[in-house]
Amino acid sequence: MGRPSVLMVGFGGLALVLLIVSGVVFYERPTVLKVAVSSTDAEDYDLMGAAAKVLKRGHYPIRLKLVPTDGVTAAASALDHGAADLAIVRADVAMPSSGETVVLLHKDIALMLAPFGSGIEKVSDLADKRIGILSQRLGDRNVLETTLAQYDMAPTGVKMVPLAAAGVADAIRSKSIDAVFAVGKVSDATMAGVVKSVTKAGDGAPIFIPVAEAAAIAQRSPAFESIEVVRGAFGGNPPRPADDVDTLGVTYRMVADADLSQGVVASVTRFLLSERVALAQLAPGARSIEAPSTDKGAPFPVHPGTAAYIDDEEETFLDRYSDLIYIGAMVLGVLASGMTAIMSRFGPQSSVRIEDLLSRLLLVFKQVRAAGTLGSLDDFEREVDEIVAAALDDACLRGLDERRVAALNMAVEQVRAAIRDRRENLGRAMFTPANDEARLTVEASSFRPIRTLSDRSAPSDA
């Protein structure tokens, strides 16, 4: 009965170890996140593809799986409907109700240019003019209409002409447009090409039309931002623009489901902000990635995981799982105590045998005190030797703790000391005066004189 129980305990312990190992492996398994991204925005789609490749090559706790959509609106909808964990959206077009900002992928500026000598210097000068709209992305036309509305100009007050980047110079030379409007990053080659085309077609430095009230527009419509295009942002000699220019801006951002784990989102944020150089080798747009503002007054909420990482308040493993670790330690302690009790019940009975030996020693100790002869003390000495020999048996000492060994050793020494004391007491009792007189009487009564040869030769009285 004992051996099967011990085996069961062993298998139970092995199962517990396997369970713990499995838990660690499960915890260390990368988390796969689905990210919805517009397939029509080639730059953002390439950036997410590069991020997925770098994550797959490295030892990161997350993986990205791209979910292509027809545009940023569809990407926001995918997040709201649970089809994605992350989404790439444009703040002025569509923000998912359940989405919170992770990082800013890039900020695009609204650039309005007029050729040299056109006489157009401010937004109000565009009344009744033809404006070539470079991009047909969803939201770009709305940026222009919002700008015109700030200056009490109706969209019908200007003529908007769809235009390709390659046709900018010809359109200006042919007088088919009076100005150009484009939305994009300052660093985009397309934007730089538009500036050069307007410069060449106008035979002089182009006029950068400022949106002087951009800050007021952004305050009224938080989806927009006020951005300053610094002097010389597009190069040239003289620099283009010649002075700093205020204009409107829009942001493309990665948002995460509000219910997504803080630890997971913190890992995504850390990866995108710390690996921009590696990502830029595959997708140059990674250089524009920025951390969002964590101010409480920010127009769009930032995910707590991102805020914790940026503000250096990220929870450690112990912070997140301290309660589970405490409860687990208690459970393991109970299991360990149970296993110890079972093993002590069905395992080698070393404790029981030691208790028996101690009981025997106690009995011998009591008998030694009452011993009346030296011979009985010799018997007790032999019994103590037998007890010591039994205690030295391997099966007896297996699993024995130091306290029991010390107790057994002390008991043996006490019994041996008692035997020595009793032996001395019995020895002294034999040589007391009364004992000496009795001994002489016995010896006298048993004395026989030694007969000489003459005594042996004389005839007896008989």
CB atoms within 10 A of CB 197: 22
Q: What SS3 state is found at 251?
A: strand
Q: What pLDDT shows up at residue 362?
A: 83
300: closest CA among 143, 97, 141, 146? 97
Q: What pLDDT shows up at residue 443?
A: 41
- Helix, strand, coil shares of the chain as percentages rounded to 5? 55, 15, 30
Length of the chain: 462
Please write down the HEC assignment for all residues of 306-353.
HHHHHCCCCCCHHHHHHHHHHHHHHHHHHHHHHHHHHHHHHCCCHHHH
Mean pLDDT (whole number) for 94-98: 93
CA distance 113 to 192: 12
Which tens digits make up the pLDDT trace of 3-50?
445 555 556 666 665 665 555 444 557 899 999 999 999 999 999 999
* Identity of the amino acid at 66: L
Which tens digits make up the pLDDT trace of 309-338?
998 865 555 555 566 666 777 777 777 666
**Average pLDDT along the chain:** 82
**Rounded to the nearest 5°, which phi and psi values hold at 130?**
-100, 125
Q: How confident is the model at residue 399 (pLDDT cuts 50, 70, 90)?
A: low
Q: Which residues contact 72 (CB under 8 A, 6 or more apart)?
A: 38, 41, 88, 89, 90, 93, 94, 138, 139, 252
Mean pLDDT (whole number) for 245-268: 95
- 99 vs 429, residue with greater confidence: 99
- 416 vs 35, residue with greater confidence: 35
Identify the residue whose tokens are 């042919």: 174
Which tens digits make up the pLDDT trace of 261-282?
999 999 999 999 999 999 999 9
Rounded to two decimals, what is the model's pTM? 0.65
CATH fold label, 102-255 = D-Maltodextrin-Binding Protein; domain 2 (3.40.190)
CA distance 117 to 305: 52
Asked if pLDDT for residue 363 goes beyond 90, the answer is no
Asked if pLDDT for residue 448 goes beyond 50, the answer is no
Q: Which residues of 234-252 are buried (b: 16+ CB within 10 A; e: fewer)?
A: bebeeebbeeebebbbbbb
Asked if pLDDT for residue 116 goes beyond 80, the answer is yes
Mean pLDDT (whole number) for 203-207: 93
What's the Cα-to-Cα distance from 214 to each of 107, 133, 226, 250, 309, rounded to whole Å?
Answer: 15, 19, 5, 12, 31
273: closest CA among 233, 326, 309? 309
